[in-house]
Amino acid sequence: MASSSTSTLPVLESRSPIIEAGNLVLLRIPNGDIKGVKVEKDSTVTIGRLGSFHANELINQPYGLTFEMVNKKLKVMPPRTLQEVEDTDATNELINDGEFVQPLTIEEIQKFKATGVHVSEIIKRQIEQHANYSLKTEYSKEKYKKRKEEKYSKSFTTIEPTLFNVCDYWFNKDQARIRDLRTDSLSQLLNLANIRPGGRYIAVDDASGLVVAGILERMGGQGRLLTICDTDSPPAYPVVMNMNFRPHIVSGVLASLNWATSEEGYTPIIPPSDIPQDQIRSERQKSRLNKRKAVTNLVTNTREELFSGEFDSLIIASQYDPWSILQRLVPYVGGSGSIVVYSPHIQILTDLHTQMRATTQYLSPNITEPWLRRYQVLPGRTHPTMNTSGSGGYLLHAFKIYDDPNASSVLMHRHKPKKVRLTQTEPTSEVVSSADDISSKEDIVEASVDTTMLDEQC
């Protein structure tokens, strides 16, 4: 029934398919690095040594296009296609990369760039004057061209801010800020937590909002996500900003409480917001009081929602002790709800696993370690990459169950044993109706045998 009800909900886009003013856009530059820039209307965007361009040139453009910067303007470049590289008998063993292999000097190259010569023309002249270029293999020639393009090209490609691309960007930029949470680990975390539109979830995210961003994207603006954080005000999740969500994805779905207000016995200290009208001196003071009252009502309603419980899942990616977090928040998770804990260190989860197995509240706690290996996929050159990440963290998953001592045993629901008919030498109509009757008759037979043996001895 739940699946049929959620399937009828309207599907809304989580982000705009084009670049809008105010978006944080990811740009892939020729050397493979990814830069994040904010596109504001009537502003200038600078990309390091590549140069700068007017931001209005990028607004209302779709993601995935490749642009070349020419005099602070953008020119759309045609997409490149993969071409088969013909294998030849050439080898690199006779190549001697000395000082005079490339006679084109740096000063001449700078002069070409100053006069406006295109990058492709500069690379073409370098190839023509290269003494050993003809001795290279076809693969070496492709690598040579690629290195020169990375060095001189002033182009970039816009990247759509999907969860995979944003997670990969932050993992390569500063993986400590997202607690070493890799793309494959994040996908398994969301699957184990059973994130879906219309669900209700509790999250403790100390990974710069990466877990929150993944949950919000899968919920699609339908359901409720309650986060527990350290700050009094709603936390600023930088990863969520990179996702460029539409307002309906976050507003009305995401709410937050700090650790103090998430405790039932805590009484928040809130300044008074209801004062007599004759004491209000200005409209500014009235506006400030209205905002204070709105914040007070929001905190009160959010606490009541948390304490009502029956949340579908609890997701933890925190720097604090996970066992103390479970003791605080698990009572608000419903029966058969998923509990997923992420940590970059396995020892923390093994200790937690031991503690969870000692209680009857958790079913089937288990620890998994995701493993990822990237491949280069090119015609004739498909192979694993030489460098890869050592670990993407560890995941602990369990289900919450209700420990009811009055619950019926599973043995009561098993099928009764089939009736067994005794086989005797003489025909008889006696039927054994149960296993107890069989055991009682066996005892009678054994007793009669013992009595006969005593009579013979006498």
pLDDT of 84 reads 57
383: pLDDT strictly greater than 60: yes
- How far CA 173 is from CA of 168, 201, 405, in Å, comes to 8, 29, 51
- How far CA 17 is from CA of 20, 42, 74, 244, in Å, comes to 9, 21, 19, 10
pLDDT of 112 reads 76
- Least-confidence region, from 52-56, 273-277, 322-326, 333-337: 273-277
- Across 377-396, average pLDDT: 86
Rg of the chain over all Cα atoms, to the nearest angstrom: 35
Torsion of CA 102, 104, 110, 111, to 10 degrees: -170
457: pLDDT strictly greater than 70: no
Residue with the larger pLDDT of the pair 81 and 30: 30
User: Phi/psi of residue 368, each to 5°?
Assistant: -130, 155
Residue with the larger pLDDT of the pair 6 and 353: 353
User: Phi/psi of residue 37, each to 5°?
Assistant: -130, 150
pLDDT of 273 reads 66
Q: Which pLDDT band holds residue 210 (cuts at 50, 70, 90)?
A: very high
Q: What HEC string does the chain produce? A: CHHHHHHCCCCCCCECCECCCCCEEEEECCCCCEEEEECCCCCEEECHHHCEEEHHHCCCCECCCEEEEECCEEEEECCCCCCCCCCCCCCCCCCCCCCCCCCCCHHHHHHHHHCCCCHHHHHHHHHHHCCCHHHCCHHHHHHHHHHHHHHHCCEEEEECCCHHHHHHHHHHHHCCCCCCCCHHHHHHHHHHCCCCCCCEEEEEECCCCHHHHHHHHHHCCCCEEEEEECCCCCCCCHHHHHCCECHHHHCCCEEEEECCCCCCCCCCCCCCCCCCHHHCCCHHHHHHHHHHHHHHHHHHHHHHHHHHCCEEEEEEECCCCHHHHHHHHHHHEEEEEEEEEEECCHHHHHHHHHHHHCCCCEEEEEEECCCCCCEECCCCCCEECCCCCCCCCEEEEEEECCCCCCCCCHHHHCCCCCCECCCCCCCCCCCECCHHHHHHHHHHHHHHHHHHHHHHHC
Residue with the larger pLDDT of the pair 423 and 13: 13
pLDDT of 100 reads 59
Residue with the larger pLDDT of the pair 270 and 224: 224
- Across 433-438, average pLDDT: 45
- Least-confidence region, from 67-71, 112-116, 182-186: 112-116
pTM over 0.85: no
CA dist., res. 150 & res. 30, Å (int): 5
- Across 146-167, average pLDDT: 89
pLDDT of 167 reads 96
- Across 130-140, average pLDDT: 72
Q: Which residue has the tokens 């390569």?
A: 172
pLDDT of 85 reads 54
pLDDT in tens, 36-51: 999 999 999 999 888 8
pLDDT in tens, 65-94: 999 998 889 999 988 765 655 555 666 666
Q: Which of 191, 289, 208 is nearest to 243 (CA)?
A: 208
pLDDT in tens, 94-104: 666 665 566 67
Q: With pLDDT > 70 as the criterion, what percentage of the chain qualifies?
A: 78
CA dist., res. 143 & res. 145, Å (int): 5
- Residue 268 half-sphere exposure toward CB, CA atoms < 13 A: 20
Residue 146 neighbours by CB under 8 Å, 6+ apart: none
CA dist., res. 314 & res. 261, Å (int): 18
- Least-confidence region, from 45-59, 315-329, 375-389: 375-389
Q: Which two tokens stand for residue 323?
A: 């066992």
150: pLDDT strictly greater than 90: no
Residue 92 neighbours by CB under 8 Å, 6+ apart: 135, 136, 137, 140
pLDDT of 454 reads 40
CA dist., res. 272 & res. 379, Å (int): 70
Residue with the larger pLDDT of the pair 367 and 115: 367
Q: Which of 443, 11, 388 is nearest to 197 (CA)?
A: 11
184: pLDDT strictly greater than 80: yes
242: pLDDT strictly greater than 80: yes
- Least-confidence region, from 120-124, 331-335, 422-426: 422-426
434: pLDDT strictly greater than 70: no
414: pLDDT strictly greater than 60: no
